[in-house]
Amino acid sequence: MPRGSTHDRLTLWTAPGIALAVGWVSDSTAAALAAGSAYLFAGLMFSGDLDTRSRQYRRWLFLRWIWLPYRRWLHHRSFWSHGPLVGTALRLLYLGLWVTGVGLPAAWLGSRLGWWQWQPGIWRESLWHWLQAHAATLFWVGLGLELGAVNHSLSDCLVSRWRRWRKRRQGKGLSGKWRQG
């Protein structure tokens, strides 16, 4: 498994290519920025390694405690944390539950304190219209998040295989009739 610095370098080196490719495919600067930013976020803060005491986990600073239940529930490099689509979707769902669990009570409290008027029906309707208006951007953000996760999982797999191959190769050079001693 690569070190955190290797994952970071891979993310930073490949992010411009992801942004350029999305910009070329979509013919949109906004889509390129959305996907590129999401890719960087996925690689630097939102990877499958949030289930360990990783660099990504530590980068959450004073909010890292929200990932403690996630760390307890998932085994490192499992299908649920590193699986294609599933890992990203599960992390988004998990983070969404935290945002909703904190955001809705805060909105309700703000309405009770007179900071704004709480109208749940209008809020749901506004959210639906916002999602419809920004569907294309959300697609590119989702793609960037998933590509960042795939970069992470693929580098885990390739580096682990390379290290096993190298270890076997070094072991063969010392075994059998070629061993001296």
pLDDT band for 155, please (50, 70, 90 cuts): confident
Q: Give the Cα separation of 61 and 101 in Å (integer).
A: 20
Residues 6+ apart with CB under 8 A from 118: 107, 108, 110, 111, 112
* pLDDT surpassing 90 at residue 17: yes
pTM score, whole prediction: 0.78
Contact indicator for 1, 159 with CB cutoff of 8 Å: yes
pLDDT at 181: 46
CB 54 within 8 A of CB 48: no
Question: What is the band of 174 on the pLDDT scale with cuts at 50, 70, 90?
Answer: low
Beta-carbon contacts of residue 55 (< 8 Å; ≥ 6 apart): 4, 5, 7, 8, 49
Compute how many other C-beta atoms are within 10 angstroms of the C-beta atom of residue 86. 14
Beta carbons within 10 angstroms of residue 94's beta carbon: 17
Q: How many CB atoms lie within 10 A of CB 141?
A: 20
Domain boundaries along the sequence of the chain? 4-145
Going by the DSSP 8-state scheme, the letter that residue 78 receives in this structure is -
Tokens at 80, concatenated: 């649920």
Question: pLDDT averaged over the chain?
Answer: 83
Instruction: List alpha helices for the chain, DSSP H.
Output: 4-26, 29-44, 55-58, 68-73, 79-82, 86-112, 120-133, 135-173
Report residue 86 as tokens.
């599933």
Per-residue pLDDT reduced to its tens digit, 51-108:
778 888 888 899 989 888 888 888 777 777 777 898 889 899 999 999 888 888 888 8
